[in-house]
Structure 1
Amino acid sequence: MIVNKIIAFKTVLISGVAALLISSCAKQTAKVSDANPWKKMELIIKSIPQTQFPDKTFNIKDFGAVADGKTSNTIAFEKAIKACAGNGGGRVLVPNGKYLTGPIHLESNVNLHLEDNAEILFSINPKEYPMVHTSWEGTELMNYSPLIYARNKTNVAITGKGTLNGQADATNWWIWSGGKDYGWKKGIPSQNDPENREVLIEMAEKGIPVEERIFGEGRYLRPNFIEFFECNTVLVKDITVINAPFWILHPIKTNNIIIDGVTVNSHGPNNDGCDPEYSQNVLIKNCTFNTGDDCIAIKSGRDADGRRVAIPSKNIIVQNCKMIDGHGGVVMGSEISAGVNNVFVENCVMDSPNLDRAIRIKTNSKRGGVVEDVYVRNLEVGTVKECVLRVTMFYNVYGSQTGNFIPTVRNINLENITVKNGGKYGVWAEGYEESPVENITLKNVKIAKVGKPYLLKNVKNINFINTNANEKKVETIKN
């Protein structure tokens, strides 16, 4: 009891100190000149609190776990996590070996730690995943539990050099996508059936409460892999994630999260590497993303649901990462209705003939939202298929995507970028006549080979400073 009170006090103290630091940082940030936004980034990093855990270990084998890759260890994980949390927190150890399990639900003050040769194999049986309050493509609902899930937790981590294996492939979760490349054939149920995805979107548009948006069995909406929902002070470090059913790292309404040294290698449908949503103070560093969709996609809710929640994603920092395959290296959107601001990307390598764009912003007049203050520097781009920077207010997928919520996109800055093969365009940007894309700056950008330097429609104030494409200087366009 005393130990629990001490940990509770420490947790409150950490949160209180973090709040003071964030408040102080906000005041300092306000004083930082827009001429040097990278100082703002440094203050944000300093404000993010670190996880801290007691030096106590709870080995899952002591709670009945069997490392044969066949025996279900769901109960062993549950017991170990509850014992750890109940005794003031610490480390839940996953020793070397293969462990089959259903979903893992984390608690405050728990560090789930995988030894180097430990592998957690997640069940592909949907019946093992209970319904929880979660989110699917930017819309909240009651659906299958994520494979690893924490809700309303503080001081929580997943660490170690082991592997999390979702075991998804074209015979199970991926087939639900309705994609022919992922095992689907005509007559097989999928998320695209009229009573599934579209019904969820309609419920949100009508304002139906989340607890009444009941999906799960028979609705074919795949679960996220790792989701921190309404959490604070989170660490994900060094793990490898493979074969995900859907989105991979999904902090939603979560503040103060560090994702460090993580490797994501998963090429399934909608296999985004990391999707911070309605989240603030997010540091993603030293990671490798090799994905079937966007490597990093910053979100803030879809359409009416995003406007209902109305929490922008902000203070998102990406450092020293490697992007291989994917639809985009660092992306904002398309579920972006509550807006995104203060995004910093630096010192990254992006290179693959299967990487479509380096930096991408995508929204439309159903999404709306304000995207502003995006700063990118020191990128080494080998090959991208389409373009280096893509900005569109006309993103259109899954049918009609037009409405009355005209987006705003402004203040996009790229500096010190080298590109070997930029694809079709260096910059491809398009806005509305009444809401043009505003204030794009490319400084010290060198694109050795590209189809055309730019393709622009309704863009206001785009500046090329010491920027070359195809060995020719790109001149600033006078509006």
Structure 2
Amino acid sequence: MLPILRNRFRYLLLTAIAVGLVSVSCKKKDEQSKADLAQTENVWAQADAIIEEIGTVTFQDSVFNINEYGAVADGTTLNTEAFKAAIDACNQAGGGKVLVPKGTYLTGPIHLKSNVNLHLDADAEVLFTTDKSAYLPAVHTSYEGMEIMNYSPLIYAKGQKNIAVTGNGTFNGQANSENWWPWCGAERYGHKEGEPQQKDEHNLPTLFTMIEDGTPVEERIFGEGHQLRPLFLQTLECENVLIQGVTFTNAPFWVIHPLKSKYITVDGVTVNSHGPNNDGCDPEYSKYVHITNCNFNTGDDCIAIKSGRNGDGRRVNIPSENIVVENCDMKDGHGGVVMGSEISAGVRNVFVRECTMNSPNLDRAIRIKTNTLRGGFVENVYVKDVEVGQVKEAVLKINTYYGIYGTQEGDFIPTIKNINLENVTVENGGKYGLLIQGREEKPVTGISLKNVSIKNAATPLKIENCEPINYVNTTINNEKYGEK
């Protein structure tokens, strides 16, 4: 553990012990209140320490304008080589800014290198070609929490340090009902009966078999002849990454995907993309992640913290941890801040504060989803100062029976504990205030609600296999839970 956090966690532990001794010896409400306050402040000091540990990313002042490397801003000329030449020159010179000036630029995949800041002017738009062959040869990437060799992500970096994508311009993946989306297999996204899609035997079923058989990643070759969509932006095994200010739209699949990466900042980004599996930001096997000042309006989860699927997640065995989400706005989506469903290596130490969530098309505010094939754990989740206008299904949903490919039962019972909501207000709670479905073998534990107000929930509570919830000054549909 890093020194700054080691000291803070040691302090938190000592404080917790002290709080326990005070409660046993004194039993006084005012003493306990002071102890609770100290404990709460120390929890959020951990979030501040994580942000401090992530630090900032800096670059040399050198500027490499893609137009000087042959780029043409007409929206039709393919500029893949111009992007590559500018990035290579910047990297070889020790780093700096690769500038995309005003205009519309068509390109194939963009591969970032160390010490390069890809910067879009406010009036710059990058269009990604619909020619699928441009995303070959296949690269080491992933699909739904499983590592594979597949079409290159639209923006990709592997094993790089000190990289950034910044500016106020737009990345347009040009995915739609005629490009990439039909492969999901849903008619509403353009799929036609009889055409190939991701659930066909040569796609996901083959990948599942490869994972069960222990096939090495380099031999899990997909890409051409297969129908597994590429990610929009993926950093694989990278350190010190900044994604700031830009807008992403029309994504083929997940949008921002730090994979096996650390020290990540996603700041002031807008994701406005309503295609299938268009998650906004999905840290996976990643640690020290700060997502702040962002706007998410998505076709799937706004933020989904992941850690691998089934056997592949257990093989990699890297939990996602030390993640702070703050000052973000979530509109459409399956969930605001979500953990899972690809969660086999576990998630811990997630802090969410000062966010807003509001849309008739937002299904849940906070969501945890897994099953006994995926297993994994979720622990130490803290949510504070969140305003929810409207959700469809639930304010907090914990589901250990999750499945979109039919029943998914196995031998890996998930562990979910220490989930805390504080100072959360909800105007329209949807079908359920709280919807918790734990397992009889291992109930959900350590759920705490403090100063939570949920209005207009059709059913206040639906709870199965969960230890008693700790309510403090909480109301659901104006009914009080816990003491002030």
User: Given the two structures, how large is their TM-score scaled by the length of structure 2?
Assistant: 0.93
Per mean C-alpha deviation after superposition, the further-off stretch among 26-35 and 428-437 is 26-35
Are 1:287 and 2:294 an aligned pair? yes
1:223-249 residue CA offsets vs partner (Å, 9 max, x unmatched): 000000000000000000000000000
CA distance in 1, matches of 2:265, 2:10: 23
1:78 aligns with 2:84: yes
- Partner Cα separation in structure 2 for residue 81 and residue 134 of structure 1: 21
Question: Of 355, 358, 370, which aligns to 1:351?
Answer: 358
List gaps (5 residues or longer) in structure 2.
17-38
Give the one of 365, 387, 391 matched to 2:398: 391
CA distance in 2, matches of 1:31, 1:471: 38
Q: Which residue of 2 aligns with 1:15?
A: none
CA distance in 2, matches of 1:375, 1:124: 41
For residue 326 of structure 1, give the secondary structure of its aligned residue in structure 2.
Answer: coil
Q: Which among 445, 448, 455 is matched to residue 448 of structure 1?
A: 455
2:132 corresponds to 1:152: no
Residue 97 of structure 2 aligns to which amino acid in structure 1?
R
**2:4 touches 2:49 (CA, 8 Å); kept in 1?**
no
Superposed CA deviations along residues 31-65 of structure 1, whole A, max 9, x for unmatched, are 22462311111111111131110000000000000
| Equivalent in the alignment of 1:31 | 11
Q: Percent identity?
A: 59
Asked whether the equivalents of residues 349 and 381 of structure 1 are also in contact (C-alpha less than 8 Å), the reply is: yes
- Opposite residue 221 of structure 1, the aligned amino acid is L
Q: Give the counterpart letter for 1:277 in structure 2.
A: E
The equivalent position to 1:42 in structure 2, one of 48, 53, 74, is: 48
Partners of 1:225 and 1:30 in 2: CA distance: 39
Match of 2:418 among 399, 405, 411: 411
Matched, 1:469 2:476: yes
Q: 2:195 aligns with which of 188, 191, 195?
A: 188
User: Which of 244, 251, 254 is equivalent to 1:247?
Assistant: 254
Partner of 2:21: none
The residue identity in structure 2 corresponding to 1:149 is Y
The amino acid that maps onto 1:299 is: K
Question: What are the within-5 Å matches in structure 2 for residues 229-240 of structure 1?
Answer: 229-240=236-247
Give the distance between the partners of 1:196 and 1:399, measured in 2 at CA: 17
- Secondary structure of the residue that 1:140 maps to in structure 2? strand
In structure 1, the residue matched to 2:68 is 62
Aligned equivalent of 1:277, options 259, 262, 284: 284
The within-5 A match list for 1:288-437 is 288-437=295-444
Distance in 2, Cα, partners of 1:361 & 1:26: 27
Q: Distance in 2 between matches of 1:85 and 1:172?
A: 33
The answer to whether the 8 A contact 1:453-1:474 is kept is no
Q: Which residue in 2 is equivalent to 1:137?
A: 144
In the TM superposition, residue 368 of structure 1 has moved relative to its aligned partner by: 0.7
Asked if the contact 1:29–1:43 (Cα under 8 Å) also holds between the matched residues in 2, the reply is no
Count of aligned pairs between the two proteins = 456
2:35 aligned residue: none
* Deviation string, structure 1 residues 10-41 (Cα, Å, up to 9, x no partner): xxxxxxxxx9xx33323332322462311111
Larger deviation: 241-250 or 430-439? 430-439
Select 2:270's aligned residue among 263, 271, 281: 263
Q: Give the corresponding residue for 1:215.
A: 222
Residue 370 of structure 1, CA deviation: 1.1
Query: What's the RMSD between the two structures over aligned residues?
Result: 1.1
Runs of 4+ in 1 over 4 A off after TM superposition: none
Question: Equivalents in 2 of 1:475, 1:434: separation in Å?
Answer: 27
- 1:139-194 CA distances to partner (integer Å, 9 max, x unpaired)? 00000000000000000000000000000000010011101110111111111112
Q: What's the offset of the Cα at 1:326?
A: 0.2
Cα distance between partner residues in 1 of 2:7 and 2:262? 18
CA distance in 1, matches of 2:318, 2:130: 33
CA distance in 2, matches of 1:31, 1:214: 48
Query: Is 1:364–1:396's contact at 8 Å kept on the other side of the alignment?
Result: yes
1-side partners of 2:228 and 2:3: how far apart? Answer: 39
How far 1:430 moved relative to its partner?
1.1
Secondary structure, aligned partner of 2:375: coil
Shift of 1:475: 4.8
Equivalent-residue separation in structure 2 for 1:227 and 1:26 (angstroms) = 30
Would the aligned equivalents of 2:50 and 2:323 in 1 still touch at CA under 8 Å? no
Over 3 Å counting, the alpha-carbon distance change for 1:24 and 1:474 in structure 2 is closer
Work out the CA distance in 2 between the residues paired with 1:390 and 1:313.
20
Q: Which residue of 1 aligns with 2:99?
A: 93
> Aligned residue for 1:4?
none
Q: In the alignment, residue 82 of structure 1 is paired with which amino acid? A: D
* Superposed CA offset, 1:369-392 (max 9, x none): 111000001011000000100001
Inter-partner Cα distance in structure 1 for 2:322 and 2:54: 10
Distance 2:7 2:79 in 1: 48
Paired with 2:260 and 2:319, the residues of 1 have a C-alpha distance of 9
Task: Report if the CA contact (8 A) 2:308-2:342 is conserved.
Answer: yes
TM-score (norm 1): 0.94
Structure 2 distance, partners of 1:30, 1:159, is 37
1:322-365: CA deviation from partner (whole Å, max 9, x where unpaired):
00000000000000000000000000000000000000000000
The residue type equivalent to 1:94 in the other structure is V
Aligned equivalents of 1:134, 1:299: Cα separation in 2: 15
User: How far apart are the structure 1 equivalents of 2:274 and 2:199?
Assistant: 20
Structure 1 unaligned blocks of 5 or more: 1-18
Q: Measure, in 2, the Cα distance between the counterparts of 1:159 and 1:381.
A: 29
Residue 120 (structure 2) aligns with: 114
